[in-house]
Amino acid sequence: MKTVSLRVLEGEFAVWKLPPDSVPPAFGDAPFLSITRTAVELSVVGPAEHVPDGAFVETGWACLEVQGPLAFELTGVLAGISAPLADAGVPIFVVSTFDTDYVLVSRANLERALAALRAAGHLVER
């Protein structure tokens, strides 16, 4: 199993979708923002305070940043994070970037998630 360091980002995050032809949002200095467009949706993960009216949204997320950068040839990083969370009954939403991974968990499950990650040997800072 890969041991990694994670950092809990400040604030509450949300996951929302808009029609695929929507203009992507710009949030300036947001600590994390991910935008993905497909043929059927524009999917956004970002600070909850930026959710636009009319969006289909899931709120109440905490965001854990895997400290990177992570080399592309690494294997098992997400498995090493997701397995202890699954064993603890904590659902996750994952976003990967060029440099690292972000694991979102419900704020209601945050303490249980942090305890499971620490018990698995990961380093977690708040």
More confident residue, 72 or 10: 10
Strands (E), 1-126: 5-8, 13-18, 34-37, 42-47, 56-66, 92-96, 101-106, 123-125
Name the domain count of the chain: 1
pTM beyond 0.85, yes or no:
yes
**Averaged pLDDT score across all residues of the chain:** 93
The predicted structure's pLDDT at residue 1: 58
| Domain hosting residue 12, numbered range | 5-125
pLDDT in tens, 14-25: 999 999 999 888
Give the CATH number of the domain where residue 72 resides.
3.30.2130.10
